[in-house]
Each structure stands twice: as structure tokens, then as C-alpha cells.
Structure 1
Amino acid sequence: MDIRKIDDTISVAPQISVEDVAEAANLGFKTLVANRPDQEEPGQPLMADIETAAREHGLDWVFMPVQSGHITDDDVNRFAPMIRDAEKPVLAFCRSGTRCTVLWALSAARNTPVREIFTKARNAGYDISGLAPRMAQQACEKG
């Protein structure tokens, strides 16, 4: 499992397996967030199976699928309070971890300096510099 720590509250990962859930729990994660829809590609594990494993290992489960490359303001508006209120630390996953990072960055832009967000994402291996205009717009949302 390729876990990439953004900060002490959230880490992201590419697609996890049912077997990875036990490792996530052993590493101390409290909430597992799936930002990937079922059947996005052949061979992908069913989210219901990952949910079952998450619950068996005492993790809170959030299924918040987002279409790759088409993250809307509504998606950010759902993600922001979820991540704020989730029991931490959170492990969010999608196909590559990018979608989760973008959701986090756009929601964090409401309360965190953009430079800090870029640095955290870059340190986790994600270049989100193309999000600068959307992050500026989100900074006006506050919340």
C-alpha cells in the first residue's frame, strides 16, 4: 500500500485492496474515505467489500465517489465538512491519490494559505499547481 502523508490529519493512497484495510487500521487510521466510484475500471475491488473490512477493523467508512478530472464545487462542499468532522487520522483513496489530494486542497484553501497547501501536496508527491485559480476561488468561501 502506497500511503502518502499530507499532514497529521490526512494521508492519501492509490486504490487499496480489502487486505490493505487491516494494515491501515494497524497504522492507526480512524477513518477510511473512498473517493472512487465502483466499476471505474475492470478488476477494481468493490467498495462494499472494502467497507465491510473497514467496519470489521473498527474504521469509520465514508463513500464519497467523485468523477476523475471533474471535481465540482458541490464535491468540495461535501468533502470539506466531512474531512473537518471525521475522526482522525484519515486515509483517503482513489485510483492514484490525486483526486483525494485535489479534494483536500480545494477544501483546505478555505482556511489555509495556498503556499502551505502546495508544499504539503508536493511533499506527498502531487503537483497541484494547476489548481491555483480554483484555490483562490475557494479561499473566498471560508468555512
Structure 2
Amino acid sequence: MKSLTRLDANFSTSPQIDLEDLPDIKAAGFKSIICNRPDSEDGGIHPDHNLLEETAKKLGLEFAYLPVVPGQINDTNVATFKTVIANLPGPTMGYCRLGIRSKILYERSR
């Protein structure tokens, strides 16, 4: 599993995850994952969120896709994030390319 930044007992962030990380995420006690990275970012060389979501759900993890363009987080993104995280079982792990967008979204939603 990639290195995590724990923001509080209910939310941590991570850089981009891969399929191989999902069992470790589950074993670490997370119940949900939020993807904040658009599938098309960087030419789509990272795993598509649909594949990650399908595999995560097979492991019993909830998964939400809320793509945000780097440097363009707005109030609508924050409000949507707040709604999504309120409806997911915690603890939750958010990821994007480096984990920064997920961190900003979480902090602004508080």
C-alpha cells in the first residue's frame, strides 16, 4: 500500500493506488475509497476508476468517483465531496495523483 497521510480517525489520503493496493487498504481497516483523479489525467496512464471500483466492491469496500482537475477545486466540488463522504462508511481513504486534492477537499469540507 502507498504511504498514507492520516488527517483524522475517519479520513486518510494516498497517492494514486493500484489494484494490488486494494487488499492492503481493506486490511488496514478502511471501509470506503474516494477517487479524486479524473481518468483522463496524464493521458490515462493510471488505472481507470471503474476497474478499481469493481475490484474494491468485490473486496467489500465502498467506492466513490469525484474527479477534480488539479488547481481547480471549487465550492461545488467541496459541497459534493461533503455529501459523498457523509454517505460512505468510514474510515475512508481518498486518493488522487499525490493525495493533495483529496486532502484539500476534506479540509475544506470541514
Normalization by structure 1: what TM-score?
0.73
**Corresponding residue of 1:122:** none
**Corresponding residue of 1:61:** 63
Which has a greater percent of strand? 2
Quick check: 1:75 aligned with 2:77?
yes
Backbone CA RMSD of aligned residues: 0.9
**Cα distance in structure 1, aligned partners of 2:105 and 2:5:** 15
**Cα distance in structure 2, aligned partners of 1:18 and 1:40:** 18
Deviations 1:90-139 (CA, angstroms, capped at 9, x unpaired): 0000000000011011111xxxxxxxxxxxxxxxxxxxxxxxxxxxxxxx
Q: Which has the higher contact order (CA 8 A, sep 6+)?
A: 2
**Corresponding residue of 1:37:** 38
Q: Which runs of 4+ in 1 moved over 4 A?
A: none
**Corresponding residue of 1:93:** 95
**Cα distance in structure 2, aligned partners of 1:81 and 1:38:** 21
Q: Percent identity?
A: 32
Letter in 1 for 2:75: D
Q: Which ranges of structure 1 fall in alignment gaps of 5 or more residues? A: 109-143
**Cα distance in structure 1, aligned partners of 2:76 and 2:83:** 12
- State the number of aligned residues: 108
Q: Which has the larger radius of gyration?
A: 1
